[in-house]
Chain A
């Protein structure tokens, strides 16, 4: 067992099994984050502003014949709500897309409603068949991997692509951003794009046929990216995205309400991140988020350490969520106790496309160049 160590610069620690530290005690994650020349969160505001203006022009001219300019995803959370606010400020006319995986909280739906009503944005919702999705979520719990939220993330991306292709739109403006979530160890979540992994786990542990789960195979992804020329742009990277300020703005302008934790707008997410992750996998995902905020200069390390002392999951919320989650997943207390006791596995123990992804990373830039020549 390796001795416990926390990074000198950020708050990442040895709960990340593949973490490494340099001679100054700084970890590989914040070092990579700070030395990435493509990291837009670290670039100057003036150059970003210019890039943003160009981007808006490109988006507008890409959609002259469409009712909408671009696609945005909405979850009711800070990031996607701020994207909605920002794109309207920029004079764009987005179509909002929401994935309903059966775990929306009241806060999530009312935040979405207020945001869209106040900004005059149209909505499209994709509802996954709940019995099918429960089967997938249970499969991931039984597989005993940390990546239990991957099916949702994969489905969101797939629906965004599907709608963009159907509406003939070239831009998906995503709320993913390097200023607040740039640090993200692969050992904590793997597989968002790896359909082989998702289907592999489901075929081992699931019992239902997948009919409505929105998925994107690699050839579909090529179709969207190369043939349909759909681009996913992390638009929050083009501005000085500050979480505190963003929250202030959407609260004042849109009547948005906070739900008390990153991605806590989904009941399953907060139960997974607030209970299963720390108790079973000994991981406090806030460390990654807070480390990013330290590196992007939004908080100090001392503030991050203070934040980590706060309870990860308010006791009252935990009690009611636990009962609700077990009821929805149709798990008895005994079933759940067994799941919590299963030996911990990783994606490496199941079918996956990791090697193929590494290969593609090298090849796709060339393919893209070739397709642009036509």
Chain B
């Protein structure tokens, strides 16, 4: 069996790093290049950078920053934010990123996923799905950084992007984002039971037990987290950290 991956997911806003709670309350947490250097030395499995202002900005991704990131980084990198054209994917991959993450465009223009998977191969295309529960407990897919309710069902949407050729689904619970209260295991299990491509669980990790739950009960192939890797203690003090191999194996994650 493949080793499960534990992935820090860092949010870019313009050229700084931020962390949100439920996609709101952006808190500045520092310089992405320095954070990256620390994660490099901590030998993390993989890193995801998401530019949360890119879709709204309606401009091109910050290629200069992405190029600096890629040149500093030793491990596989994924970038998401504002991607809606094949040429953008091609440029980001040429900078040294292994994967791109597509969210809004996967709903607005599903053909992009199909074409991208054909041109670059499924393994480079990650579709991220942001999910929020409505008042009646029904899961709904949101786009545009959690501001637009597509009313789509996450299971159907995930199955659809799988058919289009996406290689992975990053499944993010808006309700759990930044809360450190645990993943939405029901959501993760529901989606992973219906699709065969790998699911990256995201949103809510606060301790090692949470990773274990997402990977076992939720059957996710990987678990991503933000707050867990950038905050320390109950004051949520910024301090980049990454558990050691021994900590992970003690929690039966590896």
Contacts and interface: CB of A to CB of B under 8 A. Distances in A.
Nearest to A107: B41
Contact of A102 (B31, B42, B235): B31
Contacts of A98: 237, 239
Interface of A: 98, 100, 102-106, 109-110, 112-113, 116, 122-125, 127, 129-131, 267, 324, 327-328
Given A116-B233, A122-B233, A123-B232, A327 B238 contact: no
B38 A124 contact: no
B237 A129 contact: no
B187 to A, nearest CB: 31
A253 to B, nearest CB: 18
A125 B239 contact: yes
B37 A110 contact: no
Given A122-B233, A122-B235, A123-B233, A129 B28 contact: yes
Contacts, number: 67
Contacts of B237: 98, 122-125
B38 A123 contact: no
Contact of A328 (B29, B31, B233, B241): B31
Closest 10 CB pairs of A and B: A106-B41, A130-B31, A123-B237, A125-B237, A125-B238, A102-B31, A106-B38, A127-B30, A113-B241, A123-B232
Given A98-B239, A116-B232, A122-B237, 16 more contacts: A104-B240, A105-B41, A109-B38, A109-B241, A110-B241, A112-B232, A113-B232, A122-B233, A122-B234, A125-B237, A125-B239, A127-B238, A130-B16, A130-B30, A130-B31, A131-B16
B239 A127 contact: no
Contacts of A102: 30-31, 34
A122 B231 CA distance: 12
Contacts of A100: 30, 238
Interface in B20-46: 28-31, 33-34, 37-38, 40-42
Contacts of B30: 100, 102, 127, 130
Contacts of A328: 31, 33-34
A123 B231 CA distance: 10
Interface string B222-245: 000000000011110111110000
B153 interface: no
8 contacts: A100-B238, A102-B31, A106-B37, A106-B42, A122-B234, A123-B237, A125-B232, A130-B30
Main secondary structure of the interface of B (DSSP, over half): mixed
Contacts of B34: 102-104, 130, 328
Contacts of A327: 33, 68, 72
Nearest to B39: A106
A125 B233 CA distance: 11
A160 to B, nearest CB: 14
B199 to A, nearest CB: 30
A109 B39 CA distance: 11
A131 B15 contact: yes
Contacts of B232: 112-113, 116, 123, 125
A266 to B, nearest CB: 11
Contacts of A324: 37, 72
Contacts of A122: 233-235, 237
Contacts of B40: 106
A104 B34 CA distance: 7
Nearest to A123: B237
A328 to B, nearest CB: 6
Contacts of A123: 232-233, 235, 237, 239
Nearest to B15: A131
B38 A129 contact: no
A331 B33 CA distance: 15
Contacts of A124: 235, 237
A125 B28 CA distance: 11
A87 B41 CA distance: 31
Nearest to B41: A106
A110 B233 CA distance: 14
Nearest to B64: A330
B231 to A, nearest CB: 9
A125 B236 CA distance: 8
A324 B37 CA distance: 9
Contact of B239 (A103, A109, A267): A109
A106 B241 CA distance: 9
Contacts of A112: 232, 239
Contacts of B235: 122-124
Contacts of B233: 116, 122-123
Interface string B74-91: 000000000000000000
Contacts of A106: 37-38, 40-42
Contacts of B37: 106, 267, 324
Contacts of A131: 15-16
